[in-house]
Amino acid sequence: MWVEGTRGGVIETRHAVHAAVVDVEGAVVWSSGDPELLTFWRSGAKPFQALPLILDGAADRYGITPEELAIACASHSAEPRQLALVRDLLGRAGLSERDLMCGPHPSLSDAVARDYAKRNVRVTALHSNCSGNHAAMLVLARHHGWSTEFYIRADHPVQTRCLAEVSRWSGVPAAGIATGVDGCGVVCFGLPLRNMAWAYARLGAESKAGYSAGEGTPGGATLLGAMMRHPEILAGEGRACTEMMRAHPGRVVTKTGAAGVYCALVTVEGLGIALKIEDGNGQAAALAMAAVLLTLGLRPQPQALMSQPILNTRGERVGELRAAGALEVR
């Protein structure tokens, strides 16, 4: 499977897709390229970084709402409602946006970015697509009585706690997980695609009776429910994650990550998905995920994710980006 760019009917670029579709037992049932490819999970890990809010009692203690749990998992577009939710989540524990250590950047939504630029809106750490994730980490620190300063450092208890949760769900021992620094400054985790997909499959399974991903109070069902009820919070208007989830309410949860990573859970079938575009093309990753979901029977997918136009500087369509090839049955 790959994503190709055409111009004048000629294939000009080709983006290799590595993908793993995994069941709750950890078996790869469909794949593309190398399903064992080691790469960084980036924002695909956010649900598992947010789970300690529930598991450690912070969500109950501070009365955190489903919408606030969703923003903790989001790579958001800095839409007004999303910014308000980050402020609300911080405020639950007496914190504010001044405590955030994520760097500012333009919105991931072109429409929102243009609007803010036109209105001269000053972009701050609050506008980072990761601010909800950072807010959750700060609330967790406050709940445990840990320092909220430098919560992004690898040796901070918050990051140690997140690493433990990633290990529990992915099945990779903590010592075997590679670590680096994510774009927003927190720790990011390197592990095989198959294990990323397995974590999502297990997250879905925990919402079913009789299954637990490990010791401790189950929290996967609560978090998954919040994500499924609020796809508009996980990404934003016009964004691929939101549109794929809206196309099949309750059937799929999709989560983008930087550098061509994309993850998903197909709820009824109980399948976890993780893919990586080898050259890191994020646009290609969204097209590839839509194509994988089509293969798994989630039809139709949003038309905008069947192909993307390639435009010249005059705004004229001169080609397109589209998924090609197919998954392999294992």
3-state secondary structure the chain: CEEEEEECCEEEEEEEEEEEEECCCCCEEEEECCCCCEEECHHHHHHHHHHHHHHCCHHHHHCCCHHHHHHHCCCCCCCHHHHHHHHHHHHHCCCCHHHCCCCCCCCCCHHHHHHHHHCCCCCCHHHCCCHHHHHHHHHHHHHHCCCCCCCCCCCCHHHHHHHHHHHHHHCCCHHHCEEEECCCCCEEEEEEHHHHHHHHHHHHHCCCCCCCCCCCCCCHHHHHHHHHHCHHHHCCCCCHHHHHHHHCCCCEEEEEECCCEEEEEECCCCEEEEEEECCCCHHHHHHHHHHHHHHCCCCCCCHHHCEEEEECCCCCEEEEEEEECCCEEC
Is 60 exceeded by the pLDDT of residue 61?
Answer: yes
Give me the percent of the chain exceeding a pLDDT of 70: 97
Q: 217-238, pLDDT tens digit by residue?
A: 578 889 999 999 999 999 999 9
The domain spans of the chain are 2-329
Residue 175 has pLDDT above 90, yes or no: yes
Residue 207 reports pLDDT greater than 80? no
Cα–Cα distance measured from residue 152 to residue 175, given in angstroms and rounded to the nearest whole number? 19
For residue 131, how far is the Cα from the chain centroid? 13
Torsions phi, psi for 190 (to 5 deg): -105, 125
Q: In this predicted structure, what is the pLDDT of residue 219?
A: 84
Span 299-318, mean pLDDT?
A: 93
pLDDT of residue 216: 46
CATH of 2-329, one of 2.60.40, 3.40.710, 3.40.50, 3.30.70: 3.40.710
Query: Mean pLDDT throughout 164-183?
Result: 97
Assigned token pair, 308: 């993307």
pLDDT of 206: 77
pLDDT tens digits for range 22-32: 999 999 999 99
Contacts of 239 (CB under 8 A, 6+ apart): 77, 108, 109, 256
Query: How large a percentage of the chain has pLDDT more than 90?
Result: 93
The residue assigned the tokens 């972009």 is: 123
Residue 62: count other Cβ atoms within 10 Å of its Cβ.
Answer: 18
> What local confidence, expressed as pLDDT, does residue 214 receive?
55
For 69-105, write each residue's pLDDT tens digit. Answer: 999 999 999 999 999 999 999 999 999 999 999 999 9
What is the overall mean pLDDT for the chain?
95
**Is pLDDT of 45 > 60?**
yes
Least confident of 196-210, 257-271, 276-290, 316-330: 196-210
CA–CA separation, 269 vs 311, rounded Å? 38
- Global pTM exceeds 0.85: yes
pLDDT of res. 27: 97
Report the alpha-carbon distance of residue 239 to residue 232 in Å, rounded. 9
Residue 320 CB coordination number (10 Å): 15
Cα 25 from chain centre:
22
The pLDDT tens digits of the residues spanning 259-282 come to 999 999 999 999 999 999 999 999
pLDDT at 255 over 90: yes
> What is the pLDDT averaged over residues 162-187?
97
Better pLDDT: 330 or 293: 293
Task: Tell me the C-alpha distance between 175 and 141, whole Å.
Answer: 23
User: Beta 38-40 vs 187-192: how paired, if at all?
Assistant: antiparallel
Mean pLDDT of 235-247: 97
Under the banding of pLDDT at 50, 70 and 90, the label for residue 330 is confident
Minimal CA–CA distance to 234: which of 226, 224, 242, 243? Answer: 242
